[in-house]
Amino acid sequence: MSTVNPNPSAAMLVIGDEILSGRTRDANMYYLAGELTKLGVDLKEVRVVSDDKNAIVSAVRALSTAYDHVFTSGGIGPTHDDITADCVAEAFGVSIDVRDDARVLLAAHYAARGAEFNAARMRMARIPDTATLIENPVSIAPGFTVQNVHVMAGVPNIFQAMVASVMPTLTGGSPLLSQTYRIDSPESTVAEPLGDLAARYPDLSMGSYPFTQDGAFGTNIVIRGVSGAQVEAAMIELANLFPRG
């Protein structure tokens, strides 16, 4: 479908063996997709890669070149398999070490709780040069932004808190408006008239999502676009083509 679209583009990079092995079901992609759509930033691609240096470095480079923003999830904790920060630094050719601003945040956090600020925890203060910190109100250890790459934790409630910290810094576009129309007929009956309708509205995207309910086939049609007037006009045509029973 061709959609004239001036919105900023984005990609997401999910990092973690636990997703690829089927141990954990990713929750962050769905969350980020919804938040970006609300802001008018178009999520164009998601990649999931394992905790492997080459895989992470080359994905960061490819996605940061191709899209306006990249959001990563996972691999910034205190353990040996948390290599995301070092990989992002390498992808951009910047150095990385424990940085004072992050160290001070973490030291205060552990001091307040009477907990030891050990070497593993110190690892979470490793931040690439030139990066700006992303606030983490949940567990303090910050994310960071290098150029157009926003590096965030994988634990869903921390990921969501970091997304909330990043979103106000982004310039959104026109939020994509969306309306759904339910048709109690199988997709294969709907396809031809829908194709004709889509051809007459090249600036809208029309998706067709089949379902079965109580043994009967049905189709949800979702019409999306940045112009509310166009979405509305197309919905009226669609409703006329498939009047409710």
How many chain residues touch a second copy (CB under 8 A)? 66
Any contact of residue 112 with a second copy (CB under 8 A)? no
Select 199 or 236, whichever has its Cβ closest to a second copy.
199
The kind and range of the H/E element at 162 are: helix 156-166
Site string for a second copy, 64-103 (x = CB under 8 A): -------------xxxxx----------------------
Residue 223 contacts by C-beta under 8 Å, 6 or more apart in sequence?
178, 179, 180, 181, 201, 204, 205, 206, 231, 234, 235, 238
Site string for a second copy, 200-229 (x = CB under 8 A): -----xxxxxxx----------x-x-----
Any contact of residue 49 with a second copy (CB under 8 A)? yes
Q: Is 120 helix (H, G, I), strand (E, B) or coil?
A: helix
Residue 74 contacts by C-beta under 8 Å, 6 or more apart in sequence?
14, 15, 16, 19, 84, 153, 154
Select 81 or 203, whichever has its Cβ closest to a second copy.
81
Number of neighbours of residue 211 by Cβ within 10 angstroms: 12
Any contact of residue 185 with a second copy (CB under 8 A)? no
- Residues in contact with a second copy by CB under 8 A are 1, 14, 16-26, 29-37, 42-51, 55, 77-81, 118-121, 123-124, 155, 176, 178, 187-192, 194-195, 198-199, 205-211, 222, 224
